Chain A
């Protein structure tokens, strides 16, 4: 049984201007101790999907209209508020993008770290403090015993993200959801944070969902990748498989727009043309059809569902055409040379 099993999740935002189709019939699972990467551009619904899983979307205007989120045998969408609060920050943790704005500026790191420890682990003030110091040391914050009294603005960006991670790990979660935790950081710090999470994942035996818009970041990190577009999962495959033989035109487009060091300088970067659809005015048929170079008539009328690729049981794609990505990438490489 998977640790997290999401089925037909659908989230809508009811705004004054119209209904935003933020998450559209999303199904996926995460196994125990697995690292799953969710990739997609801004507004593709990756954060909204995970916030829906945590039941953290603002209601109103947001509403989870349909679906099932099974975690350790219970449907999170059916739990009472106190029951879901007992899981949040405890069995499932979520860390966020910008550690400057995601930490409370007027509370000390100690206060922000110990509050979830005290709520979930029922420790007293002194024990919670010791635990917090231990966590800070664990995520690599020097002089943790002194720094715990500091406020977030007294830390650098990378250190703040470490504090954020320490908060996420406070109660030994089974699942850590990392929502673009490195996007606001510069590249060297980014690599440190990725290494840190990899190390902690091994030590703590937890599963990780890593949300990012940077497909290349997942190369050293993820076991499996979900590609999201317009609130849908359009492709799901093990890491190697996805890089070697993407079968959705959008994934293929993403791969071709990543600069690579190991290939000829001449290899041209190809951006994905066009803009993602307006989620308030959701298109009929496949949402990627308007930007797709492989588009056929059927794409404009029928929305493809996520189905396994015939020869690969772990590889699923939502496309009528399913172009042979491996061949396309091969040809592009040959032209470059």
Chain B
């Protein structure tokens, strides 16, 4: 087990390393001269200033040298500074990261609390009107774009009813973006839970449990749920990374001050150091979450033994 975790951590580090290469190449993948593009909108920049920025970013050197420079800097915790304002990128990202994590985790909680029970009941009542209406609702939920759902929620609860603020950074402001992000994913999770539970409910061990004379609630909670959740936990892990991505849209709708919003701003401003830093931080979060999940599996499904 310890060996397995160690192996996973090493492969995680490898993934992040590959990301650093991609991030370095990113600037060169965009057509045209990157520095020119960065300053395309500001007329006042002189050719001397452009050259200065170019050498500051190391763009006048060969690519491999650029890479080693970049690696050397990030290993020391230096992610560079923003193009405008010269703020340290890492600090900018780390200040906002907890906001994004809080949003994604609350959304994940909503996804679980809504999606899993809906899928479970739909499976248990398969073929009935309850099943059909829940799953129709789920299809609608999957189809609604999150920015539109966000705007609608904002319209109803903030503008019409005045219950919740439109934007801001305290706990009350978290509710609407988390619900927006959570519901869309709950729809997908409910469908997966349903199909996973349908499979479990038809298994032989369910018949064995009933043959023992156990009450139906015990049969479902002890024998069905845990088996059904194996697939669901797998999906929730993937969902969490999607949510980190989905957060980019939702953060912008609700002006939630997370790294997603920062990323969009940086993209509009062609702020390469910030975009690079964002991608690296994002990749790290995804890698960490997937390692945590793999460890969680062993706990849920004893058949998985990593060696």
Contact = CB atoms under 8 A, between A and B. Distances in A.
Given A89-B211, A106-B303, A170-B212, 11 more contacts: A81-B216, A85-B215, A89-B212, A96-B208, A96-B211, A102-B204, A102-B207, A104-B223, A104-B227, A115-B212, A115-B222
A96 B207 contact: yes
A176 B73 CA distance: 73
B300 A106 contact: yes
Contacts, number: 81
In the A-B complex, list the 9 residue pairs whose CB atoms are closest, starting with the nearest: A88-B213, A89-B212, A116-B212, A89-B213, A101-B204, A104-B205, A102-B204, A85-B213, A94-B211
Interface in A170-197: 170
14 contacts: A51-B207, A56-B210, A82-B215, A96-B208, A96-B211, A101-B205, A103-B205, A105-B302, A105-B303, A106-B226, A106-B303, A107-B223, A119-B212, A153-B303
A130 to B, nearest CB: 19
A273 B220 CA distance: 44
Interface in A105-132: 105-108, 111, 115-116, 119-120
Contact of B214 (A56, A105, A106, A119): A119
Contacts of A153: 302-303
A303 interface: no
A185 to B, nearest CB: 15
A105 B213 contact: no
Interface in A55-109: 56, 60, 81-82, 85-90, 93-94, 96-98, 101-108
B302 A104 contact: no
A90 B213 CA distance: 8
A108 B203 CA distance: 17
A155 interface: no
A212 to B, nearest CB: 18
A115 B214 contact: yes
A54 B211 contact: yes
Contacts of A54: 211
Contact of A86 (B127, B207, B213, B222): B213
B208 A104 contact: yes
Interface residues of A, number: 35
Contacts of A60: 127
Nearest to A81: B216
B65 interface: no
Interface in B187-212: 203-205, 207-212
Contacts of A104: 205, 208-209, 223, 227
A102 B212 contact: no
Contacts of A86: 213
B301 interface: yes
Interface of B: 127, 203-205, 207-216, 218, 222-223, 226-227, 230, 300-303
B129 to A, nearest CB: 14
B210 A88 contact: yes
Contacts of A85: 213-215
A106 B204 contact: no
Contact of B302 (A56, A89, A151): A151
Contacts of B208: 96, 102-104, 164, 167
A108 B230 CA distance: 16
Of B205, B213, B226, B300, most A-chain CB atoms within 10 Å: B213
Contacts of B214: 85, 89, 115-116, 119
A108 B303 CA distance: 11
A82 B217 CA distance: 12
A168 to B, nearest CB: 8
Contact of A96 (B204, B226, B227): B204
Contact of B301 (A82, A90, A106, A170): A106
A107 B212 contact: no
B212 A167 contact: yes
Contacts of B203: 101
B205 A105 contact: yes
Contacts of B204: 96-98, 101-102
Given A115-B222, A151-B303, A105 B227 contact: yes
Contacts of A96: 204, 207-208, 211
Contacts of A90: 213
B227 A88 contact: no
B1 to A, nearest CB: 16
B105 to A, nearest CB: 26
Interface in A224-259: none
B210 A87 contact: no
Given A105-B303, A107-B222, A88 B212 contact: yes
Nearest to B226: A106
Contact of A119 (B205, B213, B216, B301): B213
A51 to B, nearest CB: 8
Of A94, A97, A170, most B-chain CB atoms within 10 Å: A94
A107 B226 CA distance: 9
B209 A88 contact: no
A119 B214 CA distance: 7
A108 B302 CA distance: 9
Given A106-B302, A119-B213, A56 B222 contact: no
Of A101, A103, A106, A108, most B-chain CB atoms within 10 Å: A106
B213 A56 contact: no
A89 B215 CA distance: 12
